[in-house]
A = this chain, B = another copy of it.
Amino acid sequence: MIHPATPEFLARLEAALPAGTLRERRSGELEDPRGRYQGQAATIACPATVEEVSTIVQLCNAACVSIVPLGGGTGLVLGQIAHDGPAPVALSLEKMTKIRGVYPQENVIVAEAGAILADVQTAAEEQDRLFPLSLGAEGSCRIGGNLSTNAGGLNVLRYGNARELCLGIEAVLPDGHIFHGLKRLRKDNTGYDLRNLLIGAEGTLGVITAAALRLFPRPERTAAAILIVPSPAAALELLNLAQGIAGEGISAFELISGMGLDFLSDTMPDLRQPFEDHPEWSVLIDLGVSGASDPEEMLATLFEQGFEAGLVSDGVIAQSEAQRQDFWTLRETIPEGNKRVGSISSHDISIPLSKIAAFIPEGIKRLEALGDVRVNCFGHLGDGNLHYNVFPARGRDRSEYENIRLEVKRVVHDLVAEYDGSFSAEHGVGRLKSEDLERYGDPAKLSAMRAIKAALDPNGIMNPGAVLRLRAD
């Protein structure tokens, strides 16, 4: 049973911590990025060390006061937004931003959880290494949040999700004990995988305070192209072709729909677009290679062979790093275009690769049966991860669709389940999708999750209501 943070409790907390650890919330803070929900907080605690985190968690646990860990606040599923129940202690990692060490010979960096993702990338770059996690919010999200949500992003195809990039973590468990697990080892089979249990648990089983992360050699040469494909099926065949030509050199393979390009023209007419007529489907392919290989030549070969095989009808290979950046700007501006048009419902889904080509039109068919909607389907095709977002017909507003919003979501997620997919590929469950988890999740897994949660956090203080819904009992 969670208790409210009384003034007496807050005074005790304050007394146990260095001056300035607790602060008031700032204006706009704790609002979800899509602007629909407002989080609460009895106070914002900003510890500077793992020991201070431990003190906070111990005191909260003893008093049954809940904690919501805060990274950059960019999560899209309300994992950081406690919008009902007693106001929690918001535990912000904003002061724990140190890079504790870079080990170029080991290809490892150790960063505190509050480090901004872009700063981790920069610290790696300074040692001529690559930290490949890359996503739209990288300028403000924090690595602890990336790990807690097992963030995906643009380079998963080549380098894996946040989970695969993490060798070890330091964390504070719900009883306040510190898990010292900052291993810098590629191989370590000594007991249950507590690291991966905390990664993706969205702060419900503890607070990640630091991580040992994998680095990679920086590819010496990069190249990118946008190629027009006749269909998502052709795009997937093209990916196979590309893998034959460039092997593990493919860093990203992104699907772009004509609808997304239309939205960009409509809402940001000044943005440079590579094609005057928006192709219905195109892919952005990015290569990074070292040694003797020439990535532009690889792309030219891919274009040629793809053209001959009827998989590519036209395309542009970036002629400079600036043009490559333009391609990426285009790709990364699609979500802003979506935001300006205003979606009825957004879906972060994944589908087994061999079923994607059938899924995309089937979904559109079922959605059009619900009403006059447009679908912008785009994303990380190489990973089977689509952002399958549903919008009002041109000239109409999403408010007119309020009555079918939940049905839209249901139709998409039911179809995802039919196709053995996931209703949350990279954003997590948070509070927004906890009902989906109950509906679509495996019952044995759910029951094991509840048992683990109760075992590690018997008072239920860690981010209550995220991932696992609170139940009346």
Interface set of A (CB-CB < 8 Å, partner B):
103, 105-108, 149-150, 152, 156-157, 160-161, 163-164, 173, 177-181, 183-194, 196-197, 199-201, 205, 217, 219, 236, 240, 243-249, 289-293, 298, 350-354, 380, 383-385, 420-429, 433, 436-437, 440-449, 451-456, 467
Contact = CB atoms under 8 A, between A and B. Distances in A.
Contacts of A444: 173, 177-180
Contacts of A161: 186-187
Nearest to A289: B247
24 contacts: A106-B352, A106-B353, A156-B187, A164-B164, A177-B443, A179-B444, A183-B422, A185-B352, A185-B425, A187-B385, A189-B422, A189-B427, A190-B440, A190-B441, A192-B197, A192-B205, A192-B448, A193-B197, A193-B200, A194-B448, A197-B452, A246-B291, A247-B290, A455-B455
Contact of A451 (B179, B191, B455): B455
Given A185-B422, A188-B422, A197 B200 contact: no
A185 B421 CA distance: 7
Given A185-B384, A197-B196, A352-B103, A190 B424 contact: yes
A445 B291 contact: no
B205 A200 contact: no
Give the one of A160, A197, A352, A383 with max B CB within 10 A: A352
A189 B452 contact: no
Given A190-B441, A244-B290, A455-B455, 6 more contacts: A181-B445, A190-B422, A193-B201, A196-B197, A217-B244, A291-B298
